[in-house]
Structure formats: C-alpha cells, structure tokens
Structure 1
C-alpha cells in the first residue's frame, strides 16, 4: 500500500519555496497580464499561519507542458499567498515519488473509472473557499493549441457558486513537455507568458456544453494574446511552435489522430 501522508500546509509551503528557488536559480521570467483578475489576498490568521480561506474559484489552466501547474501555483501564491489545489489523475497519484507529495499537498485525485467522489470533493473544497485548478483539456496538447475541453470545470463552478478564472500559459512547455525532457539550456532565463482572463460565473442549470466551448475560445484567445504581444524568437519549424505559426508541432488534425491512438492504447492496457 503506497504511503499517503495527510495534507500539510507546511509541506505545501515547502513545495512553493522550492519552486521559487528553482525559478530564481534559472532566472525564469514569468510575465503576467490580467493580474487584476486574480482573487484578492485574504487576511492572515497569524504571521506563521496560512491565510484564511478565500472566496473560492476554479482556475481553468491550459495544458501544453508538465510545468504549467507550477506557473499557476506560484502565480497565485505570490499574488495572494493562497494555496492552489489541483485535480490530478490517479496514475500520477500512484507514482512512488509523486504520490506522497500529491497527498501531502492536499490535491484532489480523480480515479481511473469512478470520478464522482473526486467531483464531490472538489465542490466541497470550492464551497469552503479554496482555490482549485483544473486542466479542462484533460491531457497535454501536443499541437500547443487548446484542445476540446471537458465540461467538469463549468459544472463544478456552477454547483459551488464560484467563478471560473481562465489562465493561459505560454512558454512553459519549452522547459518540459511530452517527448521533450528538461533542458537547463532552454530553461536558463526562459520567458513564460501568462494571460489571466476575467472571472466568469455560471448560473445553476447552465448549458455546460456551450459554456465550455466559450471557455475553450477564451483560453485560446489568451494564448493568442501571449504569442502576439510577446512573441518568442524561433527558427522556422521549431518543435515548440504550433503549426499555424510556422512551427513543427503537429497540426490540430494530426494531434487528434495521436490522441485517438493514445486513448486506444490506454483502453487496451487498462488501469495499472
């Protein structure tokens, strides 16, 4: 039975401080627009204690690489000293090293087949004033454009009565993503752009499909603003640039085929 420590605010702060130290060591530049859309800082209980629960919100974060979560986490921590929980797949939680850290950080684990318990736990956290981050694309987009999104973000926000905050992250995928491991050279002084969109509230009974389609468009618009306002220099055919910008990433159609192949392999293997 894997070790599953209880959630610890002290451990969470350790993780955040480690992330801040690594960012400083590599001089990664996180350039953010739309910070005014982030939740306001909550009053502290005591200097040595965590902040009070906030007003609750779902952060819908784009997913182009494996460090997008860290960018969103550090962004909220620096702005409001608030903790950001994530919905994380059971496969990551079963990892011998990441599993205990995920448990100690208080993230919500989504099972291989049964997902209702995770959904209910997420809604309960939101109602308690916590901030929850979700990758609505449910997987890394290899085309580096926003994939079709699942409706869970809209449904849980509407049920909990909290807003959804769209967060588009561009550039973190150059540091670490699927098929491209970590490179200290690429990471050194790497620019990462973040666009925080305006919070959106959904009434109970909202058309989740239509609202999710609009959310996807907002996330992609945030990526477009990042690439237009802060273009990263790239050689023609660069692997990390999307095809519509002249890069070597798979097109949306090619990505869809790759995703279908991955899904088929996953169904054959089943949960481990």
Structure 2
C-alpha cells in the first residue's frame, strides 16, 4: 500500500529543520537494514527524538513505526497523522495489544521504534531499560538496532520551553551495529547488552558534540557528571517518587 502521508511529513520536517539551521551530525546509517524487520532502540531526552531516529533510517529508505503513548493518537492534530503513518499506540493499561501490534509489524518486515526508558530522562543520562524491546526482537526473530541522540534536549524537552526557531543547534545521531537477540538468552541479559551499547553510542555523541555551555545560565542541558546543572539520576528519582 502506498505511503501517502509519511513521506510528505518527512519532507515538511526537513524543511523545518533547514529553516532552523539545525546542524545534523549523523553517523552509522549503514547499519540500518534495507529490508526486513528490526527493533530500533534509542535513548530519550526530548519530545522530538522520534523524528531524528526516523531521519536516520531514511538513507536506507526505511520508515519507522514508533510505539507512542495512546494519548498522542487522541489529539485532534497528531492523532490522524500518527494513524496514517502507521505508528503504534500504547495504552499502558492494555499493553498486550500494543505488543501484538508491534510483533505483527516486525514479522511483516517493518522497523519498529522503541524508547525502552519509557519516559524522557530529565537527567539526560540513560535510565534503566524495560525488557519489552528485547522480547519483541526475540519473538519476531529480528535484530535490535541501537541508536543514541544528543542535542535534541536543547530543542524541546520536559520542563523547558521549545526552542524551534533559527537556533543553529547541533544534533548528533549515532547508529550502532545490530545487536542480536538470541531467543535462548534471558531477555534481561539481552537488555543489559543493548543498554551498554546505547551507552557507548551516547558517550561517543557527547564527546563529538561541538558546543559547550555559553555561560552559567546555559548549563541546564548538560548532565551533572559532565559538569552541567541537570539534575542527577538520584535527584530525578526522588522527585518522581521512584
């Protein structure tokens, strides 16, 4: 079936990013399979992360079907677009339906995008990973595709105003080699390997990032362990009552 909505949306996004003069640094796109199913897994630091993950798959001419909160599909603007682009709604009170939907998409050769931290990390460090991505890959017999983003939190993240004007903000995207999901290996072990790989990619993206804070008021987007003023994971956990 022809994709009537997804490609034009991508074109509109590229135009928007060009107008904002975003500096995209994308590496590792050769790891995105040109055909067949895969579970794309990324860290989650901003509201636009799914857009950048999707752009990284375009050199392979792939469209990613992202798993997203069901509430996004109820919105009068985003809802019709999300459904037309065949993204997958996740109702946390009925998670099995979303799992089955994603599994069917993988088995039909689609790439399914998952953020295994479940929510945006406001410390901008990796949170613990849910094992659902690994279980999906194991059951569908497809690889896990690790990815890391850096800089997207400066555009729009939880608790901060959007910065979508002509900002010249660099965004680093790193795609790693596929991680095999052996069905005989416990999903928790696969998840540990996957998280370690995403951590490596994230650190590589941070090292290569060409911008440093401009002053004391511009350190909010840098993790505490790198000298910034973002809350530590422990502080975030205390605030969220984890």
Counterpart Cα distance in 2 of 1:81 and 1:198: 18
Alignment of 1:219-234 (within 5 A): 219-234=198-213
Normalised TM-score (structure 1): 0.84
Q: Deviation per CA, 1:77-109: give whole Å up to 9, x if none.
A: 2x0222111001112222232212111111111
- The aligned counterpart of 2:53 is 72
- The aligned counterpart of 1:197 is 176
- The aligned counterpart of 2:20 is 26
Counterpart Cα distance in 1 of 2:15 and 2:147: 23
- The aligned counterpart of 1:120 is 100
Counterpart Cα distance in 2 of 1:80 and 1:59: 13
Counterpart Cα distance in 2 of 1:219 and 1:13: 28
Alignment of 1:1-272 (within 5 A): 9-40=3-34, 54-77=35-58, 79-184=59-164, 188-234=167-213, 235-236=215-216, 238-260=219-241
User: Gaps spanning 5+ residues in structure 1: where?
Assistant: 1-6, 41-53, 262-272
Normalised TM-score (structure 2): 0.94
Offset at 1:231? 4.4
> Is the 1:8–1:104 Cα contact (8 Å) retained in structure 2?
no
CA RMSD for the aligned pairs?
Answer: 1.7
> Is the 2:30–2:60 Cα contact (8 Å) retained in structure 1?
no
Distance 1:204 1:56, change over 3 A: same
Larger Rg: 1
> Is the 2:170–2:209 Cα contact (8 Å) retained in structure 1?
no
Counterpart Cα distance in 1 of 2:164 and 2:139: 43
Offset at 1:239? 0.6
Counterpart Cα distance in 2 of 1:242 and 1:92: 28
User: Gaps spanning 5+ residues in structure 2: where?
Assistant: none
> Is the 2:170–2:210 Cα contact (8 Å) retained in structure 1?
no
Equivalent pairs counted in the alignment come to 240
Offset at 1:8? 6.9
Matched residue of 2:126: which SS?
coil
Matched residue of 1:114: which SS?
helix
Offset at 1:222? 1.1
